Structure 1
Amino acid sequence: MKNIKLNLRLLTLVIIMTLVSACATNNIKYNNKGYSVVNVHKSLSDVYNESLRLIETGQAPSLAGETYAINTNQKSNTKALILAVNDNAPNDFIEVVMQKTSQDTTRLAVKYGKQGNSLKSATFISLIQEK
């Protein structure tokens, strides 16, 4: 009986995770360089500030579950770049590239790790879109 309950809970969890990841990846394009790219209907400043906050507060954990240290932080009136690296694993990083496309729209490209982790990138993007 315990095994049946455990299997049901596991199945329910898998279904929920599938639905969440399907919602999180809505309108996101993936390119061959590992970036997840989407247009966010927010200003460049808002997207930049929220990206920085998520990384600095550890809400965008590394692939190993650790926090990132910001390595590069550049912002101009039309574009921004944040690169944060896991000090314990240099190949574990998040790169967030932002480009202003209009007053209230920003093109956001996110890449986790050298190959790109589409699920973690989609989760990061959904956190930006929700705020």
Structure 2
Amino acid sequence: MVTRRPMPYTFTPAQINDLEAVLSPPRFGTYLHETGGDRHRAMELYCWNTDVSAAFYVMLQYCELAIRNGAVEAIESEFGPNWHWNLGFRHSLPKHKGKKNYQPAEDLKTCTNKHPTAGKVVADLKFVFWHGRKV
């Protein structure tokens, strides 16, 4: 049970029904469980969770930038400033089985062909690209 009461929000029963439908019953059910079945408090808790998540967003953006820039610095020291064009680097990227799995080499190729500079490529690559890179 939630020990702290979230910030007060005002919802009509119709708004709660509409928002519950948007969230989906399983998702809203998590919040209902935490509030002992109180639908209004469940919606307050959901909104509070959204507010808390939003508060972390800026810090997470800076963290992501620091990770990407650190990775690029390490890659550039090994493959040079035009690392995004380096076929040796591209071939060193992992290949995941299955069409639905993320393919970093394909993402790099797409971004490199779309953007003129390494900086633009870095900004366009998915964050998962930087996961587990070893240089």
By the TM > 0.5 criterion, same fold?
no
Greater fraction of residues in helix: 2
Of the two structures, which has the highest relative contact order with CA contacts closer than 8 Å and spacing of 6 or more? 1
TMscore range, shorter length: 0.3 to 0.5
CA radius of gyration, larger in: 2
TM-score (norm 2): 0.35
Q: Quick check: which one's strand share is greater?
A: 1
